[in-house]
Amino acid sequence: MINQRKIFLKELQRIKGTQDILPEESYKWQFVEAITRRVMHRYHYLEMRTPVFEMTELFARGIGQLTDIVSKEMYTFADRGKKSLTLKPEMTAAIMRAFIEHKMYARQPVSKFYYIAPLFRQENPQAGRQRQFHQFGAELIGSSDARADAEIIDLAMQIFTEIGLNQLQLRLNSVGDADSRKAYREILKDYIRPRLDQYCPDCQRRFEDNPMRILDCKVETCTGLNQEAPKITYHLNQASQAHYSQVKDQLTRLGIPFTEDSSLVRGLDYYTHTVFEVTSGALGAQNAICGGGRYDLLAEELGGQPAPAVGFAAGMERTIMVAEAQGLSLGRIPAVDVFLAALGEQAQNEALIWLKKLRATGLHAETDFQNRSVKAQMREANRLEARFVILMGDNELERGVLTIKDMQQSSQEEIAAADVPGYLQQKTGNGDDRA
């Protein structure tokens, strides 16, 4: 046995960056998920579930070969047929794949989906970052209208609001369409080139592959150098310019405050036009709770018909972290309405059928499974904060009654056995299936 324990400790622990969500935590997840679904449905986004793994090629093409996610963070493995598969590192590419595969563009011009899903990235864990993490998000496919961008942002903010989060910052930027981006890229490189040697090694490496990411660098000397860098928003072509100002106009009409931030460059290659991020000061270094934007080129990139689209993704773990930092209560562990204390062999034989009867009325009913003393069972009932205890012993069984103790009042009375379910249902309010 000692050896077994040793083996367990050394080899069978959960893997780095993963988490067991125990009952004392899972009810919070259920609470956040319930709000998410409720709001999504109200905005008429419908759920899409896709497999946890996909062809590796989907993400390589969708997210971009040069991104960190694809180049070093994916969980990739070969199946028996030697196909290269990958655990989803993000949801958008998977949703778009399903959208194309099921020819959903042919059903209606605009499709709206939401998801709540586990995702996998092989990074080193830290506050707010796990290797298996969870996101909820939404995608609106088929519209290039600025109102679609605005609805997506509104939807994300609405969910946070209904959860009760406050003091979130919404940062907004536009990375333009493909033409704007290409032109700006050269303008930016022209600015950086003469002072490239002053930038940090990471930025020097980014210069050729992804110069726009240099704007997002947090190294002090780099942020200093970037102060004077040309801003993309001044170098957008007319169409991009117009879209961006329409989005801002729509957000203003919706009363959603935002900050323009020309350094906001998201890490996935598929973004065009609008990009945004929602951050909270309540988090650590990983302060983004939600990110998103428009991705008009992704459908084509994946071999589908062109389809403009916009979406957001929010971190479940981070959302819950912010909520807890704010002291919000996120639901509660289901209460026990009635605890059945069975005394003696005969009563124990009756216990399960009685529980079943009570549960059928919607009551949350629990009993003891250890043949313990009345005292121990009462203690257990108290620990569970049971509202009522049914005492069932030979005494009661002989006379066809049950003793019902009200744990709050510390009073008890005998009730005819047949009347007990109705009696308790009435006493506890209704005995429906709450929480």
Partner RNA sequence: GUGGAUGUAGCUCAGUUGGUUAGAGCAUCAGAUUGUGGCUCUGGGGGUCGUGGGUUCAAAUCCCAUCAUCCACCCCA
Q: Are the beta carbons of 141 and 110 closer than 8 angstroms?
A: yes
Q: How far apart are CA 70 and CA 83, in angstroms?
A: 17
Q: Which is nearer to RNA, 331 or 344 (CB)?
A: 344
Question: How many angstroms separate the CA atoms of 368 and 264, rounded?
Answer: 57
Could you give the C-alpha distances from 368 to 30, 210, 382, in angstroms and in order? 27, 63, 12
Quickly count: other Cβ atoms within 10 Å of residue 359's Cβ: 16
CB nearer to RNA: give 216 or 261. 216
CB of 154 to RNA, least distance (A): 17
Give the up-direction half-sphere exposure of residue 390: CA atoms within 13 A in the CB hemisphere.
Answer: 33
Query: Whose Cβ is closer to RNA: residue 10's or residue 107's?
Result: 10
CB of 171 to RNA, least distance (A): 11
Count of beta carbons in the 10 Å neighbourhood of residue 311: 28
Indicate the residue among 184 and 312 with the shorter CB distance to RNA.
Answer: 312
| Nearest distance, CB of residue 72 and RNA, angstroms | 8
DSSP 195: G
User: Rounded to the nearest whole angstrom, what is the least distance from the CB of residue 114 to RNA in the complex?
Assistant: 15
CB 18 within 8 A of CB 129: no
Shortest Cβ 133–RNA spacing (Å):
3
The minimum distance between CB 247 and RNA, in angstroms, equals 18
| Residues shown for the chain | 435
* Cross-strand partners of 390: 340, 404
> What is the nearest approach in angstroms of RNA to the Cβ of residue 316?
8
Q: Is the dihedral of CA 241, 242, 247, 249 positive or negative?
A: positive
Distance of CA 401 to the CA centre of its chain: 50
Identify which of residues 97 and 213 has a Cβ nearer to RNA in the complex: 213
Taking the C-alpha atoms of residue 355 and residue 339, their distance in angstroms, rounded to an integer, is 9
The residue among 105 and 291 lying less far from RNA, judged by its C-beta, is: 291
Q: How far is the CB of 74 from RNA (least distance, A)?
A: 12
Smallest distance, RNA to C-beta of residue 262, A = 15
Closest to RNA by CB, 35 or 314? 314
DSSP state of 353: H
Cα gap 27→31, rounded to integer Å: 6
CA–CA distances in Å: residue 47 to residues 21, 41, 136, 138, 346:
23, 9, 10, 9, 50
Q: Smaller CB distance to RNA: residue 105 or 292? A: 292
Whose tokens are 């009867």? That residue is 357
CA distance 386 to 390: 10
Of 8 and 83, which CB lies nearer to RNA in the complex structure?
8
Q: Are strands 338-342 and 365-367 parallel, antiparallel or unpaired?
A: parallel
